[in-house]
Amino acid sequence: MTWYWLIFFYVSLIHVPAERPSDWFYAQRAFPYDSIPQAFYHQSLNEIIRHPPRFTRNAPQSWKFEGPTNIGGRITDVEAVGTSPGTIYVGAASGGVFKSLNGGSSWIPIFDQNPLLSIGDMALNPTNSNHLLVGTGEANGGGGSMSYEGNGVFKTLDGGATWTPLGLEFSGSIPKVLFHPKNQEVVYVAAMGRLFGKNNQRGIYKSTNGGSNWQQVLFHSDSVGAIDLIMDTRHPDTLYAALWERSRKPSGIDYGGTACGVYRSFDGGKVWVKLSQGLPTGSNLGRIGLALAPSSPNIVFAYYMDESGDFLGIYKSVNAGDQWSKTNARIDVATFGWWFGKIYVAPDNAQIVYALGLSGYKSVDGGNQFNAMTENFSEDVHVDQHALYIDPVNPSRLLLGNDGGLYSSSNYGDNWNKINNLPITQFYTCHIDYSQPERLYGGTQDNSSIRTLTSGVSQWQTIWSGDGFVCLVDPQNNQNVYTESQYGVFVRSTDGGQGFSYALTGIDGTDRKNWNTPVVFHPGNSSTLFLGTHRLYRSKDKAVTWSSISPALTAETNSRTYGTITCIAVSPVDPQIIYCGTDVGQVWVTLNGGGNWVPIQAGLPERWITSVTADPLIKNRVYLTLSGYRYNESMPHVFVSENNGSNWSDISKGLPPIPCNKLVADPALSGHIIVATDGGVWRSYNNGKNWEILGNELPLMVMTSLDFHPPTRKLIAASYGRGLFSYVLELPVNQQTKEKPHISIETTPNPFHNTLQISISSESIQTLDLSIHTLSGKSVWQKSIRYHASPITLEYSDPNPTPGIYLFTCRLQNGAALTKKLIRW
């Protein structure tokens, strides 16, 4: 049994809700409704591009890419230049378009000027490799990129330096773009339309002027789209289209019906006929993939799934679709065939056929029998195959795109090599090892929990399998490492992440668990952890055992949510104060460590709670962020309370009105907060009165998580499709420069044990607020003094010291602060 099946075998033993995994990403943005206002999201991103707000005088720094390049992510299309093997274009599910001029040795992103980076398909002009068409919006019907559809078709004539929009902006997702081989002004597009809703901009479109105008040449209904389109390049007016009846809600999935079928046109799309002789009929039809043999264009293949996503069969016609017969082929699609469904024929040999499913398959007998050409679940080739490029000049050369990235073969798929340098990983979470901040961790979509021990962008490694989520490293002893996979499969390591064991003893297996189950440390004692199902659990022995400390904090799961806790915060100032947010809009607080719980969502919009953050300096202050959108109502996304949630204040004015996913509060400056949103990373120096985009050179895309390392002021941000980025968080100009020449502080000895001497001298008379706190923000000492312009020495002493790294902060009366790192042995 492979690791992939081991994860799902274990998940099968615990309570798993009916929602499909990919619905998690969508449901939190749609709740409490069934859809996301796509046009509103597009408008918000375009507004950010036109008017990026900046309020401080800091010269913005650039974000640093931290990797990984050697892990990969989902690829939806691959194009290359057959006569020039060095030129390759790759379309990523949520990372944009990348171009290589050296056969994949290096890449540059070329589509970042578009705010929506979900790619459906690309087409290269057969006579000009700098002329590329891109159809946006992933059409596979799953994964996080389904949350945000595409915004139409785009054209570049200069290899990606500049782009022109060509319309079809409401087509949802575009799975196929085709050039006419002899007249590149003639272009065809297959459009699937909206996934979570009905609309008429779907079917097959044709342009006779390079995409400036479009004519809808095949349309069935407002819930039936076109998933594939092929052309007989010898007779370019002969076209075959596959229509797919598909709709989806957070409450369910309908991926098939009687309208699914194969259509043919002999006149360039003017007249279409549904083909039926020998093809399956009825309501149990789903996604269909099409392929035509270039060397024998009368040979056509149709690759069918049924309505539920199971493999239905591969059908073959030898007379251009007039009659069909079912082959003996069997392809493993693991009950979610709607995720794959593409089929290809070698350009020089109609006997060689490739089909993509969980693995990649090849037939050498004209499609009758197929054998796996990528070992299922191997370390060599990732699962979930989505795109195949066959070099028309050298058909033994293949490029394969899947959920793990890009692979190449030089022998018809008998062996594969991974091209290990594409920065397209989709992160759910991120984490910094406080003891060694060069070590970064993160949970990723379909690419496991991963880490780098060196900050090398190409030196990331897998530490736990499945979809990766929470990653935690003990700040006092980084040999203790924790992580999890989907639905709260939580594990622990005591050897620095080399080996893991399950850490769920005491957690009721029937509890409802979120696709992304929250786990946090106690801020002052890393031996204690908290985990949320539909109730809160606590472990006091490093996750060896757990016990519940709350009643059910959500009702039974409903059609739109999992009915679980989504976020947990323990106050660094007073760890008896614990907050929990949920996916049904409820928020709870306990002021006595779990003895009593009080609901505190009064006055908040009913939305999925994405993060709750207890202020590291002010005891009763707490922040929370929301997902979702406005529907004829006020819809702020960031709130603060100064009284443990009894009352909430909107502090999101100036932020784009889109989902916010994570907030961190700077322990060195009260009111300095940073938020990861579905449109980049934003910050406020004044507790939300003003907001600005943080830094330069960060793609404008969904940022799912943040983590902050106070001693080095290193902030990391997790993107859903372009990897991990870091930023050294600067302080305001007045804090950086104005007050520093007027005050000096010495802390001796350092390292220290019981007693610390604090010497202060300044040129001005003012009030100083002094504090010492842990890396996680727990205060261990506070003192306010009135300084009278003469040097003074204070003493901090603790007869029962806890070894570790601490921060000393001296806050001036104008809000500026100086911070020093202390080491206690």
DSSP 8-state secondary structure symbol assigned to residue 61: P
Q: Is the bond into 749 cis (omega within 30 degrees of 0)? A: yes
pLDDT at 16: 40
Cα–Cα distance, 140 to 34 (Å, whole number): 19
DSSP-derived pairing of the beta strands 153-156 and 449-452: unpaired
Cα–Cα distance, 129 to 122 (Å, whole number): 12
Q: Which pair of structure tokens corresponds to residue 108? A: 């540059």
- Shortest CA distance to 807 belongs to which of 775, 769, 759, 760? 775
Q: Are 69 and 703 in contact (CB under 8 A)?
A: no
Which residues, other chains included, contact 695 with Cβ-Cβ below 8 Å and sequence gap of 6+? 60, 61, 62, 63, 681, 727
Q: Which helix (H) or strand (E) is 231 found in, with range?
A: strand 224-231
Q: Which helix (H) or strand (E) is 39 found in, with range?
A: helix 38-50
Residue whose entry in the numeric block shows the structure tokens 């700077």: 666
φ, ψ (nearest 5 deg) of residue 736: -75, -35
Q: Is the dihedral of CA 418, 421, 425, 429 positive or negative?
A: positive
Which residues, other chains included, contact 802 with Cβ-Cβ below 8 Å and sequence gap of 6+? 824
Cα first-last separation, the chain: 47
Which residues, other chains included, contact 77 with Cβ-Cβ below 8 Å and sequence gap of 6+? 90, 91, 119, 120, 121, 122, 386, 387, 401
300 burial (CB, 10 Å; 0-12 / 13-18 / 19+) is buried
Q: How is 766-779 classified by DSSP, letter by letter?
A: EEEEEEEEETT--E
Cα–Cα distance, 28 to 661 (Å, whole number): 10
686: number of Cβ within 10 Å: 16
pLDDT at 557: 65
> Where do the H-state alpha helices sit in 181-336?
none
User: What strands lie across the sheet with 724-728, from one edge to the other?
Assistant: 64-67, 724-728, 714-719, 703-709
Q: Are 700 and 712 in contact (CB under 8 A)?
A: no
Report which residue type is found at 325. S
The residue ranges of every structural domain in the chain are: 427-730, 740-824
Q: Which parts of the chain register pLDDT below 70?
A: 1-22, 54-59, 83-84, 143-145, 250-251, 375-379, 557-559, 732-743, 762-766, 775-777, 787-790, 812-817
pLDDT at 818: 73
pLDDT at 472: 98
Given phi > 0 = left and psi -120 to 50 = alpha, else beta, which region is 309? Answer: left
Domains 427-730 and 740-824 share a fold: no
Q: Would you state the torsion angle of the CA atoms of residues 18, 23, 27, 28, taken in this order, to the nearest 10 degrees?
A: 110
Cα–Cα distance, 190 to 229 (Å, whole number): 6
Q: How is 739-787 classified by DSSP, letter by letter?
A: SGGGEEEEEESSSBSSEEEEEEEESSEEEEEEEEEETT--EEEEEEEEE
Question: Which homologous superfamily does the CATH classification assign to the domain defined by 740-824?
Answer: Macroglobulin (MG2) domain (2.60.40.1930)
Cα–Cα distance, 497 to 812 (Å, whole number): 42
Q: Which pair of structure tokens corresponds to residue 265? A: 């046109």
pLDDT at 234: 95
Report the CATH fold assignment for 427-730. Methylamine Dehydrogenase; Chain H (2.130.10)
751: number of Cβ within 10 Å: 11
pLDDT at 520: 98
